[in-house]
Amino acid sequence: EIVLTQSPGTLSLSPGLRVSLSCWTSQTVTSTYIAWYQQKPGQAPRLLIYGTSTRATGIPDRFSGSGSGTDFTLTISRLEPEDSAVYFCQQYSRSPFTFGPGTKVEIK
Amino acid sequence: QVQLVQSGAEARKPGASVKLSCTTSGYSFSGYFIHWLRRAPGQGLEWMGWVNPISGGTEYARKFQGRVTMTRDTSISTAYMELRSLTSYDTAVYYCARVYGNSPCDYWGQGTLVTVSS
C-alpha cells in the first residue's frame, strides 16, 4: 500500500497570501496519478487538481499543482476566505487508492 | 447536470448491517465506475472499493474484504454498498463517487452518515 503524508497539519493565514501544501508518497508515483481535493465542513470533497497539475473543471487559476516522484505540492496563490477547508492529496496509481491525512487551512 | 444522490442517514447497533444507495443521473451510468469512500469523525478519507457498472465486477480494499458488498442496478442507474458486522469504528460519512478509467473521483454524492451505537 502506498502511504501518503501531508504537511503541515493545520495552517492559519490571512487572505491574499500564497500557501503551499506538501504531500509525500511512500513510493514513487507517476505524476499522472496524483490528485488534490478540497473538503469543507458538511460537504463532499471537490476535485481540484488531477494528474499532479491539471485543474478540474471550474477550479480558479489561483490553485496550481506540481511535483514528481514522491514529492507533490498544491499551491494557492492568493488565499480567499472561501478557501478555508481541508485539503487532501490522493494517489490513484495503484489499489488501494490512498489519501493523505489532510491539511486544514484556516483563513484569519 | 451530473448528480449522485445518496440515501439518507442510518443508525445501527453493533453487529448489524447497512445498505446504502447512490442514484446517478445526468451521464451514462455504464461509462463510469462507482467508488465508495468514507470519512470517520476526525479522520481522513478512506477508499473502500469500486463496482463496474457494466459487468458488476468489484474490487474491495483489503480492510473491508469479507464484510462489504458493492452492487449495481443498471435499470435505475443506482449503485449499492452493503457493510456487515458493523462496529463503532464504522461510524462515518460514506460517499459514492464516479470514476472514468484511470482517473480520480470527479463527481461525488452528498454523503450518508452511518452511526453505529448500542
Q: Does A88 touch chain B (CB under 8 A)?
A: yes
Write out chain A residues lying below 8 Å of B109, CB-based. Answer: 44
Question: For A99, which DSSP code?
Answer: B
Q: Under 8 Å CB-to-CB from A9, ≥6 apart: which residues?
A: A101, A103, A104
Write out chain B residues lying below 8 Å of A90, CB-based. Answer: 45, 104
Averaged pLDDT for residues A63-83:
97
Report CA-CA distances (Å) from B117 to B6, B12, B15, B90.
22, 6, 10, 10
Residue in the structure block whose three cell numbers are 445526468: B26
Strands of the sheet with B68-73, listed across from one edge: B3-6, B18-25, B78-83, B68-73
| Interval B61-107: pLDDT, tens | 999 999 999 999 999 999 999 999 999 999 999 999 999 999 999 99
| Contact by Cβ (8 Å): B100, B2 | no
Angle at A89 between CA B26 and CA A29, to 5 degrees: 105
Please tell me the predicted confidence (pLDDT) of residue B100: 96
Question: For B57, which DSSP code?
Answer: -
Please tell me the predicted confidence (pLDDT) of residue A102: 97
- How does the average pLDDT of chain B come out, rounded? 97
Write out chain A residues lying below 8 Å of B103, CB-based. Answer: 50, 92
CB contact under 8 Å between A44 and B102, yes or no, is no
Averaged pLDDT for residues A64-71:
97
SS3 for B31? helix
* AA identity, residue B27: Y
Place A54 in a pLDDT band, splitting at 50, 70 and 90.
very high
Please tell me the predicted confidence (pLDDT) of residue B18: 98
CB contact under 8 Å between A50 and B44, yes or no, is no
CA–CA distance, A21 with A75 (Å, rounded to integer)? 6
Averaged pLDDT for residues A51-64:
97
Which H or E run includes A68? Answer: strand A63-68
Averaged pLDDT for residues A40-60:
97
SS3 for B25? strand
Angle at B69 between CA B11 and CA A4, to 5 degrees: 85
Interface size between A and B, measured as CB pairs under 8 A? 51
Averaged pLDDT for residues A74-92:
97
Please tell me the predicted confidence (pLDDT) of residue B104: 97
Q: Extract the C-alpha cell encoding B22.
A: 447512490
Q: Which of B47, B95, B110 minimises the CB distance to A96?
A: B47
Place B7 in a pLDDT band, splitting at 50, 70 and 90.
very high
